[in-house]
Chain A
Amino acid sequence: MKWYHRYVGFAFILIILSLTVILLVRPDRAYSAQEKRNLAGKPSLTIDSLTDGSFMDGIEDYAADQFPGRNAMMTVKTSLLSLIGKRESQGVYLCGNDSLMERFDAPDPENKEETIEEMAAFADRHPDSDFYFLLAPNAIAVYPELLPKNAPTASEDAYIDGFYSRLGTSYHCIDVRDSFRVHKDDTRLYYHTDHHWTTEGAHLAYEVLREGMNIENRISFTSGVVCNDFFGSLSAKSGFQTKTADAITVFLPNYPADQQDESYYTVSYADTLTRTSSCYEPKALLGDDPYQVFFGSNHPLFTIDTSAETDRKLLIIKDSYANCLIPFLIPEYSRITVVDPRYYYDDIDALMVSEGFDEVLFLYNVNTLSQDTSLKTVLKNQQ
């Protein structure tokens, strides 16, 4: 009996002490490639952070994030959860077809209302521009049959309908749902391991958008796979290990021989003050978020100046779903300005006036918009 307790006592203190020592000695990591997020660093010690307890919370986050073997522990946890029959982790469902889908949680009605009001007011303030709104459904709304049986989720359709019915007078609402549901078995519209739509999905959405925005079918596109070992954000968030990796494709325009000189454009990023001649960042394919192959990461504002023979100027207000759709629009506009309200702190009305956009496109996916509070803030900006 005593010898047994000695063994347990020894093992316990050995495990705790060695993990403590590694935790304290090992250099901090700033970023987790598996979880695709920045890890917490040491909290700053001030009188305020001590008295309000934020220092102590910071220490807990810091220690948990820097914990030795964190990735392996994530695997242990999700394996144990799926072993006991759980098909859900951190709001992500492990679905049929070896795919992961994010649950849609009932949106905050107040936030939805405020966003609708600010969007309507914004369009009313700028009567000279045409306003378009594409609210993309997420995988869960298009492939509900892949969900675990009876898995609870709120209705994305109701959310989209709510926006479209209220904004129908000031916006041309582009509804991709019918087209997506018709084509959902022909092609993979969403990644299996990431929350974005695939470039094929974006291409299908572009086809619907093209009709809505009166863009003639001038340029065709050819697709090619640029990455086939992509494990995206949903894998990272949930920790579920799926077998099949995703492939990322890009669609390149086929300009007719006599219009080749129209194919050139430059992309200017306002935040990094850099300029490139391509919307693709091939370096990202080697990194841990290959989706950033489209325009790098999310930028507050960037401008695409093209050599297309047109004067049409477009403003896109968007989340990351737009990143892989924008390349389809490049041949049709002389200038496309792209704003991501989550990182944008300038005066959007002044931008509207100084640039004189012919068209404004709001492009969001349901999950992001339902949790977003930056869009209404940016639109409210100036009266």
Chain B
Amino acid sequence: MIFSSVTFLFLFLPITLLLYYLVPQKAKNTVLLLASLLFYAWGEPVYVILMLYSILLNYGMGLLMDRVPRAKKEILAFTVIINLLMLGFFKYYGFLVENINALFRLNLPVRTLALPIGISFYTFQALSYDIDLYRGKFPVQKNLIKFATYITMFPQLIAGPIVRYEDVEAQMGPRKLSLARFGKGAVRFIIGLAKKVLLANLTGAVFDSVHASGAAVSTLSAWIGAVSYTFQIYFDFSGYSDMAIGLGQMLGFNFVENFNYPYAAESVTDFWRRWHISLSTWFREYVYIPLGGNRVKVWKHIRNILVVWMLTGLWHGASWNFVLWGLYYGILLLLEKYVFLKWKLPSAVRYVFTMIFVIIGWVIFSADSVPQILTALSSMFGFAENGFVDGTALYLLKSNAFLLLAAAFFSLPLLKKPLKRLKESSAAAIYYLFGFIFLLAILSCSIAFLVTENYNPFLYFRF
């Protein structure tokens, strides 16, 4: 099930919330677990069994590590390997066989399995539990329901954020609930829903129409398409995270933040501190630092960065364009660290270059194949089939100028300071009044679009 659907918003959510608030504190995790399993099974009626298997495996191995401390290391290694094999088999098997076939001119049968939605998210959550348990950061979780609830929690199950067990361990017990907390979650959820349904879907439709023209575009169209995708992926992904964090608050959880105005970044390094924070944190904690991080010789640091970023790319999908995308960022980050950031350029220049690099990154990311990356980039940099500007580009620009400007406005923290000042001033009533009206308006519009619009893509089916 996805958040931006009528089924979720008007059947699943109200019923789940009612049950969750009505049952006594002790039964709340059970309700949440059952609801989450239904939530997952709704989209993956078969693969829900795989998720249950993963829960039992990691729960059992945790208990075993606790019981047999001297074999802790071996048990961890075994658990990590099984988890990665499962992820590898369901996510990368087809990709691997295709490449082996191409490389050795073989004809091994490619069985393309449908990718279980969210497998990358819940596997990474389980791994964070296993590894940090081994590191002794917290005691073993003996309660299966609590453990299963942590893995399956529907707010973050299919599109993150990747919640590390360390961060929610204390919250698995009784949680404080109140109408004010619920309302705080509702504010966040409404904002996330509007980001997804209004901004992401509308900019996504612009990208799709350019994308569908293939090579037959002008330079201006190619840029409009790339910029539209840049906004689509941000509002879609951060919208999902907002909805997840909001739903978490409604249920009494505090999840980590996942986005912090990434398009306000003044360097690529800065961008990755603001984009999909929970994923970068995961890779830093469990791959980069164990490899030695940056406290090693330069060549080893370069190796570490490239390994981590290739894996980060691959995490986003079993396809070469994601590997290239990851390496692209690895190289950019290295260049920044060792070259660019020493140049002390004015911030406007740094900002423009960062955004251009980010947009090129999304072109690589959104392509269906490697040759398509080249087509799209050459269209953007002056070698477009339809010249610099054509009629379609002017039409796209005219009918989407307002949308793209609005998207740019909301992706930057332009209102953050003035609103904070207004909230703390004597005219705070205006802030609350308009805030309330604004939230109601965007909720109504989101529902209207959700009910009547068929275009509602889910971008994370390859994650």
Contact = CB atoms under 8 A, between A and B. Distances in A.
Contact of A4 (B9, B183, B395, B403): B183
Given A19-B447, A67-B10, A148-B399, 13 more contacts: A7-B436, A9-B185, A13-B14, A16-B14, A20-B10, A51-B46, A53-B43, A56-B1, A56-B42, A59-B11, A76-B444, A85-B402, A85-B403
9 contacts: A6-B179, A8-B183, A11-B440, A12-B443, A16-B13, A23-B11, A84-B406, A149-B391, A151-B395
Contacts of B189: 12
A20 B11 contact: yes
Does more than half of chain A's interface fall in helix, strand or loop, or is it mixed?
A: helix
B445 interface: yes
B183 A150 contact: no
A19 B10 contact: yes
Interface string A324-344: 000000000000000000000
A17 interface: yes
Contacts of A23: 10-11
A5 B184 contact: yes
A63 interface: yes
B411 interface: no
Given A63-B10, A64-B451, A85-B400, A13 B17 contact: yes
A80 B201 CA distance: 14
Given A5-B180, A12-B186, A70 B5 contact: no
Contacts of A2: 180
A54 to B, nearest CB: 10
A88 interface: yes
Interface of B: 1, 5-7, 9-11, 13-14, 17, 42-43, 45-46, 179-187, 189-190, 209, 391-392, 394-395, 398-403, 406, 432, 435-436, 439-440, 443-445, 447-453
A239 B453 CA distance: 11
B425 to A, nearest CB: 14
Nearest to A89: B453
Interface string A344-367: 000000000000000000000000
B402 A84 contact: yes
B214 to A, nearest CB: 11
Contact of B9 (A10, A16, A70, A148): A16
Interface residues of A, number: 46
A5 to B, nearest CB: 3
A53 B45 contact: yes
Given A4-B432, A10-B183, A77 B395 contact: no
Contacts of B14: 13, 16-17, 20
Contacts of B450: 64
A150 B389 CA distance: 12
Contacts of A208: none
Interface in A74-133: 74, 76-77, 80, 84-88
B37 to A, nearest CB: 14
Contacts of B179: 5-6, 9-10
A270 interface: no
| Chain B, interface SS category | helix
A3 B9 CA distance: 25
A201 to B, nearest CB: 27
Nearest to B183: A9
Contact of A8 (B43, B399, B439): B439
A226 interface: no
A85 B403 CA distance: 8
A150 B42 contact: no
Nearest to B2: A60
A193 B449 CA distance: 22
Nearest first, the 6 A-B pairs at minimum CB distance are: A9-B183, A5-B183, A150-B391, A73-B448, A150-B395, A12-B186
Contact of B6 (A51, A64, A74): A64
A50 interface: yes
B403 A84 contact: yes
A88 B13 contact: no
A16 B43 contact: no
A15 B436 contact: no
Contact of B445 (A51, A74, A80, A152): A80
Please indicate which of the listed interface residues B7, B181, B392 has the most CB atoms of chain A within 10 Å of its own CB: B7
Contacts of A152: 209, 391-392, 395
Contacts of A52: 45
Which of A11, A12, A74, A148 has the most chain B CB within a 10 Å cutoff? A12
Given A4-B436, A16-B13, A149 B443 contact: no
Contacts of B445: 76-77, 80
B216 to A, nearest CB: 10
B452 A74 contact: yes
A6 B183 contact: yes
B451 A70 contact: yes
Nearest to B14: A20
Nearest to B406: A84
A68 to B, nearest CB: 9
B398 to A, nearest CB: 7
Contact of B448 (A4, A5, A6, A76): A76
B191 to A, nearest CB: 11
A82 B1 CA distance: 31
Which of A17, A73, A74, A88 has the most chain B CB atoms closer than 10 A to its own CB? A73
A16 B443 CA distance: 10
Contact of A63 (B11, B17, B187, B391): B11
A239 B180 CA distance: 39
Nearest to A84: B402
Contacts of A11: 436, 440
Given A4-B436, A9-B182, A84-B403, A149 B10 contact: no
Given A67-B6, A148-B395, A149-B394, A8 B400 contact: no
Interface string A17-39: 10110010000000000000000
A86 B443 CA distance: 21
A38 to B, nearest CB: 16
B463 to A, nearest CB: 19
Contacts of A239: 452
A13 B20 CA distance: 14
Contacts of B399: 85-88, 148
Contacts of B46: 51
Nearest to B10: A20
Given A53-B43, A67-B451, A88-B399, A60 B13 contact: no
Given A5-B184, A63-B11, A149-B398, A77 B452 contact: yes
Nearest to B46: A51
Contacts of A8: 183-184, 186-187, 190, 436, 439
Contacts of A15: 443
Nearest to A88: B399
Contacts of B432: 4
A84 B406 CA distance: 10
Nearest to B250: A9
A10 to B, nearest CB: 7
B179 to A, nearest CB: 5
A59 B5 CA distance: 11
A59 to B, nearest CB: 5
